Structure 1
Amino acid sequence: MSTTNNVQIGMGRTSLKQKIDIYFAGLGMGLNPYGLRRARMGEIITLEMKSDAQLATMGLTRDDILPHVFRDLLTA
């Protein structure tokens, strides 16, 4: 029997992958976020696992997670 380490995290009806793709599409960034998503997925998952109260202590809401993780790409 083979085992795989496939983790699928869903955010309501939207998967985390879809949520990230939608985020970048909404910014109008013409790039494939695969590499960016892969490199930062650990941080995204860590933040998504926190409670709303823990995020608030950090000054974040759930909607702030992706802008926070990718903030270096969005500064001018």
Structure 2
Amino acid sequence: MAFITADHRHADHQSFGQRLAAAFTRFMERQSRQEEIARLEAKTDAQLAAMGLTRDGIVRHVFRDRFYL
């Protein structure tokens, strides 16, 4: 008779708690960026121009540390 066990707690696998914490962190980062986008979209074109931004560049500006567009 053979017994087979599966241990899913290897170092290269994250625990459920770690995955949940990572998902929560990503959610909070997205939320804060959405608020920044809304704050910039509420500015006038003149205010954006003074910051060196255009309306089309708001999202690119907010996510500039994540994506190179």
TM-score normalised by the chain length of structure 1: 0.49
Q: How does 1:1-76 map to 2 (within 5 A)?
A: 37-75=30-68
Deviation at 1:41, TM superposition (A): 1.0
Select the structure that is richer in strand. Answer: 1
Q: Aligned residue pairs: how many?
A: 43
Deviations 1:13-68 (A, max 9, x none): xxxxxxxxxxxxxxxxxxxxx76542311100100000000000000000000000
Provide the aligned C-alpha RMSD in A: 2.0
Structure 1 residues not aligned, in runs of 5+: 1-33
Q: Which runs of 4+ in 1 moved over 6 A?
A: none
- Highest Rg: 1 or 2? 2
